[in-house]
Amino acid sequence: MDKMKHSIGGALRNRSESKSNRSSSEDQREATDEDTMVIEPEQGNILLHIISQLRPGADLSRITLPTFILEERSMLERITNFMAHPDTLLPMPSIDDPIERFVSVVKFYLSGWHIRPAGVKKPLNPILGETFTCWWEYPDKTRGYYISEQTSHHPPKSSYFFMAPHHHIRVDGTLKPRSKFLGNSAASMMEGISYLRFTNRGKSKGGEKYILTQPNMYARGILFGKMKYELGDHSYVRCPENGLTADIEFKTKGWVGGTYNAIGGSIRNERTGEVLYELSGYWSGEMTIKDTKTGQKKTLFDATHAKHAPPLTRPLEEQGDRESQKLWKSTIQAVHARDHEVATTEKAKIEDRQREEAKRREELGVEWKPKLFRRVDARPGSCEEGEEDLEWIINAHLDTKTGPEELIERILSIAPILPGQVENSEQDTRRHSFQYHERTSHQAAGQSGHGHLHASDNLIDFDSRPPSTAPPESHAKQPNSQPQQTSHQQTANLMDDDNDMSHMNSQMSKMNMHEAMVPEGQKPLRRADTDTSEVDLFVDAEG
């Protein structure tokens, strides 16, 4: 029996094909314009109604988006795109020359952006305490391991850890996306940071460290025209120990001229200011690197026919209720079947359940804490000195001086990753101790003091929005059932897909889409394209 299962979305796509071990990282697509999505009339009406209720610069994380633009996986799983090219990942630590090693890091960094679903899709927002784990099988019979958890919901923060012990590679990161409405576009401002370490290199604690940031993501044409997916703005790769920096610009297409998916940038010596290499090309195609001294230009990475390595996951029946694939199973099945009414209902069940659990947590006076991650200790002399931007780090001591087998044993003790694994005794103890605390807290009502609540304790703060009118989930799970929903309930979750567009048109006409959308009293953030000098305006939500 095949123990290496993958995401529900991937399994559904491959149902009529051979049952292979592919995760929900997207399959290679043959579409010539895979970043474009044509909106059906009824879908466009829903989008228009949502947008008509927004003020310029509004925070989209507070808006329930229609399910037809959802990707068939959680953000925690989508982050694995970052590690999905072993051919660029594994050779890096073995390169002796520090400049060549840095170039290999840039190549690795650029190799994952082509992995995306067809059209314009947004991954599911993880709930607080949601987890996702997986692993990769490498050609040399070694493995890479990934652990992630949603460590905050408002604002959203996805913390993750990756390690390939036999190859001396470790990654720690926290992603902090902020969704914004920008007129005819919606943007995900991908804040956060990643630390890539080579544990066999460098003089700093934990090994030679590389600091990476991400480009922002844009959905163009959400009001008129075809919807289009773009990456935009500057991102950076830095190695403080060797004094090297790569400034990479993901270029967005302007109103006049320009092209989609282009990149540009340079690699320079921070200490001397010398530009060593220039970068150009397309993140969805061929990217080139030019030596500024010799003028030699060569291919850095070609994504045109690149095949990524999707991660492997445990079977659904072995996963816990808070693990991404099992948590969102019914929602993903409905999204894949394009049954958006059922998808909305299933998604609302999870959201409503989290609000109820948040209410219980408040009544009990307990403080929620992540199960797998802890706060970064950025004090002078500590292991994470100067890494306060990371905020959360895996809650385990992984001494890189020990052998790979011992590291693997320690990683597997953090959370179940491989088939057949079960929660360890420490996690069970946490759950049982909280259940006792919950029983006794009611007896101590009126007394001061707060306890701590871990993700495994089944009390999760989802968000502060008022509850939807979707029915609560029953204790007995029935994945194949399709709960009925009244017309009023559909309105609450699909933002009212009625036929009377007069009010929406009135609201849209007031928005002056041709003008820069800037909240009153705020100055816009301007970004100029280095080639075209075109200026984009970005604004933050009020309040």
Considering only residues 50 and 478, tell me which one the structure prediction assigns the higher pLDDT. Answer: 50
198 is written with which tokens? 């080579």
Mean pLDDT of 155-167: 97
Global pTM value: 0.74
Domain with 184, as residue range(s), is 34-247+304-333
> Which pLDDT band, with edges at 50, 70 and 90, does 222 fall under?
confident
Cβ atoms < 10 Å from Cβ of 149: 27
H/E/C letters for each residue in 368-428? EECCCEEECCCCCCCCCCCCHHHCEEECCCCCCCCCHHHHHHHHHCCCCCCCCCCCCHHHH
Specify the pLDDT at position 512.
Answer: 42
Specify the pLDDT at position 438.
Answer: 38
Dihedrals φ, ψ of 233, to 5°? Answer: 85, 180
**Lowest-pLDDT range of 10-24, 104-118, 335-349, 390-404:** 10-24
Residue 419 located in a structural domain: no
Residue 514 located in a structural domain: no
Residue 128 located in a structural domain: yes
Specify the pLDDT at position 454.
Answer: 59
**Lowest-pLDDT range of 399-413, 474-488, 518-532:** 474-488
As a whole-number percent, the residues of the chain with pLDDT over 90 amount to 51
The segment with the largest mean pLDDT, out of 23-32, 385-394, 520-529, is 385-394
Amino acid at the residue 108: F
Specify the pLDDT at position 2.
Answer: 44
Strands 122-124 and 70-74, by their bridges, are parallel
CA angle 77, 81, 82 (to 5 degrees): 115
pLDDT one-digit tens code per residue, 97-116: 999 999 999 999 999 999 98
> Which pLDDT band, with edges at 50, 70 and 90, does 57 fall under?
low
Mean pLDDT of 315-337: 95
Number of domains the chain contains: 1
Residue 111 located in a structural domain: yes
Considering only residues 352 and 289, tell me which one the structure prediction assigns the higher pLDDT. Answer: 289
> Which pLDDT band, with edges at 50, 70 and 90, does 430 fall under?
very low
pLDDT at position 124 over 80: yes
227 is written with which tokens? 């919807």
Report how far Cα 479 is from the mean position of its chain's Cα atoms. Answer: 26
> Which pLDDT band, with edges at 50, 70 and 90, does 519 fall under?
very low
Residue 211 located in a structural domain: yes
> Which pLDDT band, with edges at 50, 70 and 90, does 482 fall under?
very low
Specify the pLDDT at position 63.
Answer: 59
Share the mean pLDDT of the chain. 76
> Which pLDDT band, with edges at 50, 70 and 90, does 120 fall under?
confident
Q: Among candidates 125, 8, 6, 126, which has minimal Cα distance to 72?
A: 8
Considering only residues 342 and 515, tell me which one the structure prediction assigns the higher pLDDT. Answer: 342
Whether the ω angle into residue 66 lies within 30 degrees of 0, i.e. cis, is no
**In 3-state terms, what secondary structure has residue 494?**
helix
pLDDT at position 445 over 90: no
Specify the pLDDT at position 56.
Answer: 56
> Which pLDDT band, with edges at 50, 70 and 90, does 205 fall under?
confident
Specify the pLDDT at position 182.
Answer: 80
219, β-bridge pairs: 186, 229
pLDDT at position 525 over 50: no
pLDDT at position 287 over 70: yes
Considering only residues 240 and 530, tell me which one the structure prediction assigns the higher pLDDT. Answer: 240
As a whole-number percent, the residues of the chain with pLDDT over 70 amount to 65
Residue 261 located in a structural domain: no
What does the alpha-carbon distance between residue 50 and residue 178 come to, in Å, rounded to a whole number? Answer: 18
Residue 94 located in a structural domain: yes
Specify the pLDDT at position 99.
Answer: 98
Specify the pLDDT at position 391.
Answer: 96
Residue 83 located in a structural domain: yes
Specify the pLDDT at position 184.
Answer: 80
Specify the pLDDT at position 60.
Answer: 56
